[in-house]
Structure 1
Amino acid sequence: MSVRGCLFAVLGAGLLAGCVTPAPRAPLPPAARAAAEAQQQARETALARAADWGLQGRVALANDGRGGSGRIDWRQTGAAYAVALSAPVTRQSWRLQGDADGARLDGLEGGPRVGDDAVQLLRETTGWDIPVIALAAWVRGARAPQAGPAQLQFTADGRLAQLQQDGWTLEYGDWRPQPGPGLELPMRISAERGAARVRLVVDAWNTGGTDP
């Protein structure tokens, strides 16, 4: 089986149901917009201090008409990450781990693959376009410092609804309070850029350095 075929087998067939469906949003009045932006900045400052975290959930990927879904387990320790994706039915899985200096992908036919850039490594070996480094910020509802300027939209109650950065558009839903930094985190995230899509449903957040 090819490298891409192996990954498709891991993911299984079909995309997740229940992705984020953005509701029509009217621009906030200037004062409410300023308050939402201040709240967002405060959230991002607090999240930057909580550098060790994790999540468990379900992920769906699509790119150029190909798609699949599976379980995801993400562990972040500062700049270091370990992301495991698995299909419980087939008991197949792959694991991406690395930091700002490089990445290693395990679980594919022919042995592990390594590279200096996680995004390029995934694109070359699997065909998936997944912005791993930026997603570490995006999944928690924060702008990625290394990804350039960002545009934000908020709901009427001041929660982040949409983030546009580095050509990606992220939609957020189902915010829930979490322990640790004492912040709300999104339980549903949808990311799109062109034909590439990533949809995530979080079952459990870990905000205190232990398993969810």
Structure 2
Amino acid sequence: MTPRLACLALLAGALAACSSVPERPPARTAVLAPEARLAAEARLAERESVVRALPAYGFAGRVAMSNGRDGGNGRLDWRQSGASFSVALTAPVTRQSWRLTGDPDRARIEGLDGGPREDSDVVRLLWEATGFDIPVAALAAWAAGMRAEPARFGEAEVEFTADGQLARLRQNGWTIDYLDWQSDAAGSVPALPVRINAAREAARVRLIVDAWMPDSSDTP
């Protein structure tokens, strides 16, 4: 078995041991009147400014991933500090896990067969190690209901619900659907998404956030 197949087998086994992430249809988008559209875009820009100003934030939840052939579910713990990230995926039953750390210049994955692996491109690192297409650098922004940096990921298209809530975001070939949001925000932090679907071609990522830590001091 090649190192990549061994890594994929371990990751698939870890994922399969965890609880499932149920699917839900996407939110219904609406064509807003020009004034309502401008107001929704202004609210989105304002909430992005608030979240980006946080020194660090994080979330814990459940994730399901698929590449069109293989997939499964796992527990996810994400910590973000600026552009630096620390992501842990675990399977409580088997105690198998892997950990990904990095920033825009480098990334390291640990816990898979063959020992730690590093690369300057985190997407390439995950693809070569596991066979999964996971947009890590952009996913931190998308998970928080924000557009990722246009300089790196291109301009984003957004759609809203009839009441002006962000419902869908398209960027870098990915479509991100926001299915549910917090009912209450924490302090001055705006409400954050708690159920997100992301897809590009055969790649699928479904995320349910059980807890947001918008003032997390546990930096990567």
* TM class by smaller structure: over 0.9
Structure 2: gaps (5+ residues): none
TM-score of the aligned structures, taking structure 2 as reference length? 0.91
Residue 164 of structure 1 pairs with residue 188 of structure 2: no
* Match in the other structure for 2:215: 208
Contact 2:21 2:208 in 1 (8 A): no
Give, in angstroms, the shift of residue 13 of structure 1: 5.9
Aligned partners of 2:18 and 2:53: how far apart in 1? 37
Aligned partners of 1:190 and 1:19: how far apart in 2? 9
3-state DSSP class of the match of 2:192? strand
Give, in angstroms, the shift of residue 9 of structure 1: 1.2
3-state DSSP class of the match of 2:129? helix
Q: How does 1:16-95 map to 2 (within 5 A)?
A: 16-95=20-99
Aligned partners of 2:18 and 2:203: how far apart in 1? 15
* Match in the other structure for 2:157: 151
Contact 1:20 1:188 in 2 (8 A): no
Root-mean-square deviation (CA, aligned residues, Å) is 1.6
Residue 97 of structure 1 pairs with residue 101 of structure 2: yes
* Match in the other structure for 1:120: 124
Contact 2:100 2:107 in 1 (8 A): yes
Aligned partners of 1:149 and 1:183: how far apart in 2? 23
- Where has structure 1 moved over 2 Å in runs of 4 or more? 13-20, 23-26
Q: State how many pairs are aligned.
A: 211
Give, in angstroms, the shift of residue 12 of structure 1: 1.2
Residue 182 of structure 1 pairs with residue 189 of structure 2: yes
Structure 1: gaps (5+ residues): none
Aligned partners of 1:56 and 1:23: how far apart in 2? 23
Contact 1:15 1:60 in 2 (8 A): no
**Residues 40-73 of structure 1: per-residue CA shift (max 9 Å, x gap):** 1111111110140000000000012211101000
Aligned partners of 2:35 and 2:76: how far apart in 1? 39
Aligned partners of 2:100 and 2:38: how far apart in 1? 39
Aligned partners of 1:74 and 1:24: how far apart in 2? 28
Q: Percent identity?
A: 53
Aligned partners of 2:47 and 2:90: how far apart in 1? 31
TM-score of the aligned structures, taking structure 1 as reference length? 0.94
Bigger strand share: 1
CA distance 1:87–1:172, shift in 2 (3 Å): same
3-state DSSP class of the match of 1:184? coil
